[in-house]
Structure 1
């Protein structure tokens, strides 16, 4: 405070009598600023809560507090005779400090001049601290303060233990600091930082110690002779050994399990049982247990203690780590910092820059005399090859010269699909420079023209198959095949829920603008292009959590796709149902790439409406959370009670929108959302699955027009897919979207929507609600939202935040207990 290492913006207060003169920024000890201290607005009396707060912006060890009254160049008379301390640690709540003797009140000042330093035993580990002045009689107080401490480098965030079995007659051997930190939460076990990490090693035995804050103990009667303590650190560290200061029998068994993610623990047979225990006896029963960890990497350490005596006591735990030239991030990935090479690299780059500047100047000078000749030669030879797809499905090739491009610059947009009306066809730029008219002519006469099949869609789906809930879409045929007839204009088929032809007014509203090209952003687009298979699978899996295949027991098969198969499995260390998704053919590089991409994306996901990913084994099998009731489509077909309840269906759509909102916030485009890829648990909890990244297999009936025609994938195309999925769910999944249309007809319909050509086919809504009822009003408003999701102008579609907020408000009176009044069957065990 005095040195101003803590800025004014880090010092706040509950109130100030006058902010400019006695605000918290003036509370620096031994400093006369403005009126010379912080003074709260109200007088202090018994029961008042006024405070000055210091935010450190990172966790600190606070070993002392120094206070001083307001001198004010001789005019001040105010000081705090007593005060309380509250502190806050990241992820915790505000906790009232209590010293080792159990006292909360700290003695403050007796005049306005003298600075009084109070040491804190145990020290406070926290990121924020509050000083709360206290007085039994009403009085005016002012304070100047100083915080004594240093940065917290040990990295221990918290430990978790149980206080059951810690009472011994009149003596209480529970972790009192931990209990106070969890007062508002209640229950057992307790979590935080307490006696085991206060820096105090007891030198007397528990029965002779006069202090009740030296030892933590458990009796064998209530604990069964077994105690477990879990330690969590802020990052993965390299541990060399652990030291436990204990009192009890040397026959105590200690087991240590380690984990990098807190879910799967390695060395489950325990390091201690393999290496033995190094005992350093101080006095009978009082000794130190040292456990070597051999520079093992971990972020979570679980210590299991088994004792035979009636009581076992522990005073302090110390963790020793090795110094590394590497840092390890939260996912366990090592990043090498070669600081010693930075200066050399900078020097080399500077010299290289100077050298390149000299070369550049020489080249400019030499080429100046040849500029006109070069320019003339370039203008006569540079052309662009454009491949077009005519309305009859046949490809056509056009050469555009530079002059043509200058007259029509909108033709060329780089390697993107565009939707210009050039001779009634959709075009894609495929070419570059041509060297002569001969080479240009040859490019036209090739038997196999350049392909536009950058994306594949499935044929009309059949749901009479026995595909499992985790299976992939069926094998597919190319989207823009040459067999699509150009004369398709009417479709005589009659679906169960007939599509409607949009009116002229709705077409004008829905097709205000035509997207000219996909926008470039940092989104992770799920397009099926630019896939490289040069990187080995082992290199690509370096940042993905690993699970040993020896910990996995495969059981019943529940699903099968084109390239993968799904089995229910048991995974040691995961305390909930799991399944494993593995390749049918391990030599299929395309399938392997898709599975790796899915694993990378899922490993970075953490949301209640996204399926949980636990890791990948050596055979590239993805260990996933197993949802007990299967896909939303299969679930609704099995559950007529849920299917007939409109609020339950809206509840399902709300959860899907919540998961998609999370993907939107993470700038990840799903690309193939449908009820088939949304899974359900028995409590009607829905999670989104099959996030396969840039190797997805899109679904035609759920894809936006710009995705079908322009290969443009964005969050707005996901909104279109959500609208189609919500339409299907709200109709009970009884009808497939556009079930009366073939793939070719769907493609032409998408082209008409983009080109604003009537007629276009839209999905119809059917409802059994009476038009005067509140249910019909809710239904109608929900349908209007879904229609907005199908706007041909992507900028006019809502985002997922808006969708989720709307559905949440519409379904606030939803009762899960009522919806689950009937039993929901689960997948077979």
Structure 2
């Protein structure tokens, strides 16, 4: 219902946080839905559920609604929620009702006491609603709302009877931030004749007085990330600089900007992420340092020891970027951070926090003068005990405290033993499957068979480390694989049913044909079979089976050792469980590599490289996998594959140095451009031609043809993993999975499998089967991205769980599967090629050699 309203392309978390919150399906209980009045008992607020017909079919306030009336329907969501969409209907009552609201206002509250009025980015408070009593109207909230309590207030211009049914869409607000305070944003005055750039926080919903913002939330938490050029906005009909909040050095009477952040409860803070502009040509830079103080309770004093962090300033890359500030797992309910200027201006577009609730239990230690009671409670709010004055100390308090401490220690030991036993049992249970999955694929020489797949080491799951940077979790039922199996009953067989054709075997070692596999056994949802696809450094390692660790020596690595002191850190590109990917400058690298080195034209500048580094806390298995990846990467040599240049393995930390293109990845490159036309030339708008897009497609097919010739399976082919230089030369890489920028392209199942499901073939999702044929499927999606100029995520109208359900339709092959729509810029013959890549039958998909030969004639060489 109302699905056509989801065609709008939305940036940031709002594009991924659009899940029904439970009015229609009953997860929001009747007692959480109240109203200012009701006409009859059968039109009470509990009947205000979208698409439901209980009672008399809707909530109706008492009497005729007057233009001056303020009647409301109130919903308690039970927790802080990121609300992005509101759906409304009138009272249909099986064709006996004809009451609906043509307009409504929205009020919200985070605590149930202080209510705020929602308004859009242009200041309008009234939203249009329904034109009839049966159709649902879905409205996006721009900006979104962070709240627990929601009131819908119907509005009418003449006395009228109104009724409403409602659904709310969004997801839990896991940041826990309920307000921030800061100096008001300022104005930038440019040259005469040019407009003033206003850098104020235009959607702030707190108090604004004496040039200070306090007690609210605004643009720094709305999920909209500013672009590299702060004058370019992601919103329409707004002023230049709208996406950023900015301050001028010296205007605040100090060299820093002070901000305070208040949270819903005590939390253990691991890091703060600040998205900053770095357009240094205009005097804008990221902050040079930040100092954060902590307050455990709102009425307590600030702790004396702050957390300090100094950034590495970059005068070469003007791109906006996230700066991650480590907070050392400090416990607090409020933070005060002072950001120090590095240039004339400092601009932020988004601030988020990674944190977890303070432990599972809050144990309050009682001073000796207080009543000897220990409260153990969930830490939703600070738990305090009222002081009992004048009571004598009977001398038993120390004994009681000692007993309680002993009991707590015994419980901790018992819990540890239980968890340890469960872990050992799981390892023993999975051991036979691990042995079966180790298969061999021969490379260029018979003695060099390797696997670069990270072994299934139990992931370090922590409540204090959310998987994504402000990408919200899915509905709880979709975190449970059993729920997915219930949605696809024919996939509910045991893991043994998919032994034939499962795992990560290449096409030449599959033990039966696809036809035999699909008809001899019924596949199941393969979440339990898919180990983490994320390599130790956060990159997607090429799938190549089986190498013994003992056979790997330094002589197997065919690239030279580079002096570590010549690498200069610029920024962190991404991270994995045991490693990180950094953007660095390599001093003297061309001279070190000699003639014929695969380096871009420097024009006198230093060479930028990507450095994968193993962290100090890496396990032995991770270390071995890292060395195996070096061995494989050192043997790849193709113009369209990212190349390993050198290594630093003589001492820790282990590093590999690969190419990095100055133009970044293809997704970002294309999303910032339009198709070439007279208009783009006249207005100097960055553009690409159809010939450029075809040339890019040919290069990707050429690189994948090379990998396929070695029986390598990429498993994460997409435009985010294609790097681009100034000559539009493309090199396929594997950094996308580790970058926060593309975290929304990956679906995490119970913290274990991180899957690019929108690019995956159906057999990869349902069977855990990754082959060159599944890479062909991903290549078809990558072509679709290219010819939509990466303006839209694949299957953008479907949620992640609907994408998974759609793979079941491919398996059933009953004509109900949903395909990607033809891109407007794409020739029909090319879209037919994409459709062949998405063929249900693996054997009928083209090879990369065939794709290359089909695409090459369309490019003028």
Same topology, TM > 0.5: no
TM-score scaled by structure 2? 0.37
Larger radius of gyration: 1
TM-score scaled by structure 1? 0.38
